[in-house]
Amino acid sequence: MILLRPGVILATNGDMRSPSPSLLHLSGAWRIAAALLLASARVGAQDAVAANAEWIPRTRTVDADTVHLRSPAQKTLFVKRDLLATGIAIAGTAAVSGFDRRVARWSRSASVQGDSSRRELVDQLTRINETPLTLAALATYGVGRLAGSSTTADLGLHTLEALVLTTAVSQAVRGVVGRTRPRASLEDPFRFKPGTGFSGFETRSFPSLHTAAAFATATALVGEIRVRRLGAVKVAAPLLYTAAMVPGLTRVYLDQHWASDIAAGAFVGALLGSRVIGYAHSHHRTGLDRALLGVRAVPDGYGGVMLLVGTR
């Protein structure tokens, strides 16, 4: 059975700003490192949004499954301005790398490591990575399909797409770069073994996949909120970006990543999350969107469930 339904065309625009949590309670190396990391994350988020400045509302049309922009469309997934954003991010990451050794030494100090309860808390927080976030996005899509909520399904699917792309790009870069993790290179943040990151865990440090996945999720959610409810962004964005910082900071605490790994991961996630949402909402549905957002589960009248698939 084929179910065809028209959709909603909606566009909005707004400034997305990453949060700027107070650094007053931090001291020494941590204050410097946190400021640099937040600056790098801000570059990723704001430059990605700047690249989407063409999101101009023109018309509204009903589309039950996705919201997209009528004019002008983002012709490709990436745009020329992404090269500028990437250049700025590379410069920012290089600047942060100058503090890598200092931040690592500070994070290993007894005052930072604390007692076993602090260690256990960090161990739990670091479990927020690409796997549970991807499963959560997939579950959100599934709930949306089962509940008949096009908004929920749309949010889940596009966040899932952003996470899959971010994970693939991050893993590729990690494999090629082969940067050694701080716990295996205590005093040398510039030990690289190119090509070994595909097979060796200890040479898979740059960029931080935990951070990239967290920022891809936050950016995708902020983008979806902006499209549907612009006024809520000023509340949602600070909360989501603050939460996105947590997984990366736990990796520094656990000596798994250098500070510059976190900065690079934040940019990668913010950029790719923004581009996926921008492309999804400035085009007619992609083949994947048509296939997955067109699926509905409804009772078949005999105690079972029938899948309805839209092809438009």
Closest listed residue to residue 296, CA positions, set 141, 155, 148, 140: 148
Of the pLDDT bands very low, low, confident and very high (cuts 50, 70, 90), residue 159 is very high
Torsion over CA: 53, 54, 58, 59 (sign): negative
On the question of pLDDT at 60 being above 50, the answer is: no
Q: pLDDT (tens digit, 9 = 90+) per residue, 131-151? A: 999 999 999 999 998 888 888
Closest listed residue to residue 93, CA positions, set 161, 158, 44: 44
On the question of pLDDT at 174 being above 50, the answer is: yes
- Domain chopping of the chain, boundaries: 7-309
On the question of pLDDT at 41 being above 70, the answer is: no
Q: pLDDT (tens digit, 9 = 90+) per residue, 244-257? A: 999 999 999 999 99
Token pair of 283 as six digits: 């085009």
Q: pLDDT (tens digit, 9 = 90+) per residue, 257-304? A: 999 999 999 999 999 999 999 888 876 655 555 555 555 555 555 656
Least confident of 32-36, 102-106, 147-151, 212-216: 32-36
**pLDDT > 70: percent of the chain:** 66
Measure the CA–CA gap between 23 and 43, rounded to whole angstroms.
18
